[in-house]
Amino acid sequence: MTASVALSFARAVVTAPRTTFTDAVRDYQDEVYGVALRITGDRESALDVTSTTFLKAYRAFARYDQTRPIRFWLLRIATNEAISHARRAGRELRRRTAVESADEVADATAAPEAASLAREERDLIRAAVAQLPELYRSVIVLRYFNELSIDEIAAVTERPASTVGVQLLRGRTLLRRALEGSA
């Protein structure tokens, strides 16, 4: 790298706008809540996890490396908090309510019958995901509900990408078996 390129890169880094905590909350609160809801399976627990996530993020925000994507940092905190909360709450509390409204938006063009069948299918899938062991549930939720890549999930969970890939394969196998058993 030449000196002029290095200097212009340094200026770009210095002049890059810093993400404010308020912007981070506004941009990612729904996604953090969705992850918490899908992992805990309980709306009240998801709200608690979301609050705790942003409280921890606020306390550590001064130490946050602004060169890294804030989304992954927040999702890592949320995932860890949701898993910890679910462990503390116990299995019976974790599965007390259905996870029907994390990102449900009615399709105005769908016929009532089709919408009902689609809702039943989503409920079946969410119930099957909720029954997965937490090791597989977290990577399945991050991959298929939050649409993160394997590398992004590895960054969020702080696991090697190869481990995440194996966990996704095993999680999908368990999910497929659960869905075949409920059909």
Residue 10, domain member (yes or no): no
Residue 118, domain member (yes or no): yes
CATH of the domain at 77: 1.20.140
How many folded domains does the chain comprise?
1
The pLDDT value recorded for residue 17 is: 58
pLDDT at 5 over 50: no
The residue range of the domain holding 82 is 18-182
Residue 43, domain member (yes or no): yes
Residue 61, domain member (yes or no): yes
The pLDDT value recorded for residue 147 is: 84
Instruction: Record the pTM.
Output: 0.58
Residue 57 carries which side chain, given as an amino acid letter?
A
Under the banding of pLDDT at 50, 70 and 90, the label for residue 167 is: very high
pLDDT at 39 over 90: no
Helical packing angle, 70-89 and 150-157, nearest 10°: 60
How many helices (H) and strands (E) would you count in the chain?
9, 0
Residue 8, domain member (yes or no): no
Residue 9, domain member (yes or no): no
Residue 124, domain member (yes or no): yes
pLDDT digits (tens, 9 = 90+) for 48-70: 999 999 999 999 998 888 888 89
Residue 143, domain member (yes or no): yes
pLDDT at 117 over 50: yes
The pLDDT value recorded for residue 183 is: 60
The pLDDT value recorded for residue 28 is: 93
Mean pLDDT of the 65-86 span: 89
| Assigned token pair, 20 | 């404010």
Tell me how far apart the alpha carbons of residues 23 and 38 are, in angstroms, rounded to a whole number. 24
Q: Are 10 and 108 within 8 A, CB to CB?
A: no
3-state SS of the chain: helix, strand, coil percent to 5? 75, 0, 25
